[in-house]
Every structure is written in structure tokens, then in C-alpha cells.
Amino acid sequence: MSSEWPLLTLEDVAVPRGVVDGPFGSNLKASCYVESGIPVIRGSNLTVGPHRFKSEEFVYVGEETFKRLSRSECRPNDIIFTKKGTLGQTGLVPSDSQIEKYLISSNQMRLRVDPEKALPEYVYYWVSSKWAIQKIKQDSEFTGVPKINLEYLKKFAIRIPPLSQQTAIAKILGYLDKKIELNYQINQTLEQMAQAVFKSWFVDFEPVKAKMAARKRWQATQPGNEAASPVCYAGEQGGPAAGEDLETTMNLAAMQAISGKNREELARLQSEQPEQYAELRVTAELFPSAMQDSELGEVPEGWGPVRLERYIELAYGKALKKSSRVEGPYPVYGSGGITGSHNDFLVPGPGIVVGRKGTVGSIYWETKDFYPIDTTYYVLVKNGCSLPFAYYLLHTLGLDGMNTDAAVPGLNRNNVYRLEVPCYSLELMERFSLTVNSISKMKSASNNETQSLIELRDTLLPKLLSGELTLPATETQEPELPKVANV
């Protein structure tokens, strides 16, 4: 039990001089940052609770700056803490990181654990637990911006079981984290797929261009045009079959552009999955076979420009002070994303939130009922536009660059309404929504599994750290999870 485990401090389990803080603010200014070099770990790389380390948020410094500030260097297996601002943020630099050295920013502190005294992963789970986060916040200085200091971190208490028990605990929790991270990656891939489909159909107009190129190829095979030079198009596998009519040639070309399959693969799809083939053909037939000039440049024939207000309306969110919120099942959205929860909602899900004040033009998709506050808009659709279509369309319009207010950044919805977009085919908008809905179902299933894994991890974590659950040392790669009642 944990009462039998020695109570030590973080300084006790650190290597000599293993607890350091970031450079003094004036020594690491924004002017020190370069396009590439040594990554700087900031608060945006950390999370509250035992979540993944966010390496996509890095900024960089050059070698000279790093040498000058090398006292604040960081390496894999180091644990990072925020000392000012969003307290409770932590991050464990991955042991398998391909990056050998980092620099921590002015608002961070670093702990380097002595592996002979404690396991870095175990220490990380301890300091990122709800109990530890709550204690850090309670003990912080509240004069101005909440903060803690290096001496506080050094004296922070931690129970240290035998290394074999630490290893077993870290394996269980690490296994769950890896499964959670894998689901995040799956959802990122699915989201990229949906974005790629929208870009192909409605930004690059690839199926239309494929039809146009196919027409030239077909014409080159007609009697009297033997000398014409062939024109290739993306994904083409040979020219039209003998006796193939123009319409079939163009539709097959569009089907290749939509599906990424060549003619042989399409023939196999027709034989093995005729319903899916028929759906693909119907989709291909909906695309025009020519382009026209417009104020937007070349667009598919019949897709002349219209104002964005044809498709969407931006409705104002509603003020909801933090003091008025009651923690509940509904996420509360500000322009920077989820800012908490409430026991009531304003908008039934699914829905789209757009940043109005502060983080201008940010765009969020929420599947559940939600509460957008007055720094946001939420999206209403009309004239046959669907919410999924509106979501991906808004991502192509550069709303984050449309700040119109001098003091607090702001997004004027009338300026958004005046943006011009093609007059999209309603049938194709519907087809796209059906395609994205199937992707959304896969994302939803992944999200549900992730939520279950997070709840299991968050239930196990305090029981393991308190010694309520004890585990045998194990060398298995995928440990068997202990059974916990009411998980």
C-alpha cells in the first residue's frame, strides 16, 4: 500500500541539479526564434492531465542561442512543468523522440529523474494526476497571474514504490495512452481524407478537369485525328477502349479522379461491388465537363460566383460568465475552443463554432449539444447547404486573416457574407455530405473508444498511485488491464 511507500520530494528523485527553470524572459525573446533548429518547449506543447506531448506546436532557436541558454536544456524522458499561467500543465518528452535536445521557454521548469531512484514515466503520471494538479493550483501564488517557483517544485511530495511496481504501473497506463494516441492519429487521418475530398471536388475541380482531358484524349482517337498528340490526365491508364463513346470516356476519367482507382480497378469494383460502382458513376456524372471564366478565376461550367450568405448565416453566441456556469455534460465554446462545461446548452448538435473575438476565424466542429459564448458565432445553413459542407467550405476561406478591429481582434460577419464562392451543384453538395458522414461515423466510433479508454485510465490512475491496486512486475508488451468496478 502507498502508506508503506517512502514519501520523497521531486528533488530527492532528480539527478544532481536536475530541477531547473527556463531562461530569464529578456534572454529568450521572439526575435531569437528561427525557422528551424533546436525546438523550444512552451506551454502550448503541454497539457493539463496525462495527455500526449504536442510536438506540432514547436518554435525553434539556433545553436548559438541554445549554447547561451544551455542551462535550460531538455532531453527525452525529462518532465516539463508550467510555472506561470496555466498551472498544472505538464509534459513528458517522449523517450523515443528523434530529437536529442530541446530548450524550455521562460515560463517552464524541467525535472530530470534519476532512473536509479524512480521511473520518469511513473513520476510523470504522479505529477499529472488530478490530485497533483489540484494541489499545485491551491498552493500557487494568486497575485496577478497564478504561479509557482522552482523551490516549490523541488519540495513537491511524491510516493515512491519499488521500481518493479513503478514499472508495472507505467506499463498499464502507458499502454492505455498508446491506444489513445493511436485513435487520435486515426482520426487525424480520417479528417485529412475528408479535407482532401473537398479540395479535390470543390477547390481544384479535379473530376471536371479529368473529364476535359478525357475529351481531348477521346478526340485524338477519332478518324481524321490520328496525328493529334495525346493528352494525359491524372490517374489515366491508357486511352479509351475501342468503340467507347465520349460520355463513357469522360465519366470513367472522373471516376478515376474521385476514387483514385485505375480502369482495371474500376472494372473489378463493377464486378465485385456493383452498387458501390453505380454510386461512384452517378457522382461522376454530376460534375460538369467544362470550365468557365469568372471573377473567381476558372470554375466549372454553371458554377458562377455567388455570395457566401447564400449558404450560411453566422448567429451570435450568448454571454455566459464563468461564475454562472454549472458543470455539466455540455461543452462551452469560446473563440479559442472549449473553455469548460455547463448543465444547459444553447445549440443542438452537431454544429459549427466560428471565433468572433480574440481568436478570429477559428473553426470547430461539435457533435454534441453545446453552448457557444458571445466571443463566437455558430453556423446556420440554408439553400440546400449542409453543415458538413459548410464546415469544410469555411476552412478554405481564410477567415483567420479577416480581423477588422484594432484593439481586440474581431470578425465582422457582414464581411464574411460578402465573400464570393462558386454556386455549387446541390446534388454534389449532398453527395459530399454523404461521403463525409461515412467518415464521421468512423471518427465517432474512434472517439467513443478513446473516451472509454480515457475514463478507464483516469479511474485506474489514482487507484494505482495510491496502492489501492497493486500489480505484479511484468515483461509483456500489452499488459492485461486490472478489473475495476464501476469504470
What's the pLDDT tens digit per position in 316-371? Answer: 999 999 889 998 999 999 998 998 899 999 999 999 999 999 889 999 999 999 99
CA 152 to chain centre: 34
Cell of 295: 471573377
Confidence label for 186 from pLDDT (cuts 50, 70 and 90): very high
Q: How far apart are CA 336 and CA 437, in angstroms?
A: 26
Per 3-state DSSP, what percentage of the chain is helix, strand, and coil (rounded to 5)? 45, 20, 40
∠ CA 272-277-278, nearest 5°, is: 125
Contact of 18 with 10, CB cutoff 8 Å: no
Rounded Cα–Cα distance for residues 248 and 245 (Å): 6
Q: What is the DSSP letter of 4?
A: G
Cell of 10: 521531486
Give the contacts of 275 (CB within 8 A, at least 6 positions apart).
none
Distance CA 23, CA 18 (A): 15
* Cell (9 digits) for 104: 524550455
C-alpha cell at 33: 526564434
d(CA 207, CA 202): 10
Residue 429 has pLDDT above 50, yes or no: yes
Structural domains of the chain ordered from first start: 2-161 (3.90.220.20), 205-300 (no CATH), 306-422 (3.90.220.20)
**Chain centroid offset of residue 82 CA:** 22
pLDDT given at position 239: 65
Supply the pLDDT for residue 38.
Answer: 94
Give the model confidence (pLDDT) of 229-256 as tens digits. Answer: 444 443 444 567 777 899 999 999 999 9
- The closest alpha carbon to 218, from 234, 201, 207, 233, belongs to 233
Residue 466 scores a pLDDT above 90: no
Rounded (5°) CA angle 36-102-152: 140
Task: Tell me the sheet residues that pair with 142.
Answer: none
Question: Residue 63: what residue type?
Answer: E
Supply the pLDDT for residue 236.
44
Sequence letter at residue 174: G
Residue 155 · residue 9 · CB < 8 Å: yes
* Collapsed DSSP state (helix, strand, coil) of residue 20: strand
The rounded mean pLDDT for the chain is 89
Distances (CA, A) of 217 to 63, 200, 225, 237, 343: 55, 21, 10, 12, 62
Instruction: Indicate whether 420 pLDDT > 60.
Output: yes
Across 414-487, the runs of DSSP E, i.e. the strands, are 420-422
What's the pLDDT band for 405 if we cut at 50, 70, 90? low
